[in-house]
Amino acid sequence: MKTLMKAFLALSILIALPAMAISLNEAKSQGLVGEANSGYIAIVDASSPELEKLVKEVNAKRKAAYARIAERNKIDIAQVATRAAEKLESRLSPGEYYQDNLGRWVRK
C-alpha cells in the first residue's frame, strides 16, 4: 500500500511540474528566452507551450506600453521598441541572452 501511495505521489508531482508557471526572470536566467533586437522577448532555443505563453503575455504588455509611450511622444512605436531593446540589453545579467543586429543570439 505504501509503495502504491509513493507511486501516486511521484506521478502527481510529475504531472504538476509542467503546469507550474515559469517567470520571465527564471526563463532568462536559464537561457530559455532572451531580449530580441526588436524590443520584445523571444525563445532562444527549444520551445514549449509554457514558454510560448510567457513570451506572448510579456510581449503583449510591452507592445501596449510602447504604444502608450509612442502616442504620448508622437513617434512611431518601432522607434520606442528599438530604444527599449537597447536599454533592455544593457540591463541584462551575465549569462542572459540578447539578439545582436544580425539576429544572432549572444550570451552576455
pLDDT in tens, 10-21: 433 444 334 458
- Average the pLDDT over 25-45 and give the result: 97
Host domain of residue 56:
24-107
Distance CA 47, CA 11 (A): 24
Residue 17 falls inside a structural domain: no
Name the pTM for this structure: 0.77
Element (H, E) at 91: none
pLDDT above 60 for 49: yes
- Cell numbers that stand for 42 in this block: 523571444
Distance CA 14, CA 56 (A): 25
What is the reported pLDDT for 21?
A: 80
Count of structural domains within the chain: 1
Condensed to tens digits (0 to 9), the pLDDT of residues 52-102 reads: 999 999 999 999 999 999 999 999 999 999 999 999 999 999 999 999 999
pLDDT above 70 for 47: yes
> Residue 3's pLDDT band (boundaries 50, 70, 90)?
very low
Sign of CA dihedral 63, 65, 87, 44: negative
Residue 65 falls inside a structural domain: yes
Residue 51 falls inside a structural domain: yes
SS3 for 49-74, per residue? HHHHHHHHHHHHHHHHHHHHHHHHHC
Residue 95 falls inside a structural domain: yes
Match 531593446 to its residue by C-alpha cell: 85
What is the reported pLDDT for 57?
A: 97
- Average the pLDDT over 12-41 and give the result: 79
Residue 3 falls inside a structural domain: no
Residue 4 falls inside a structural domain: no
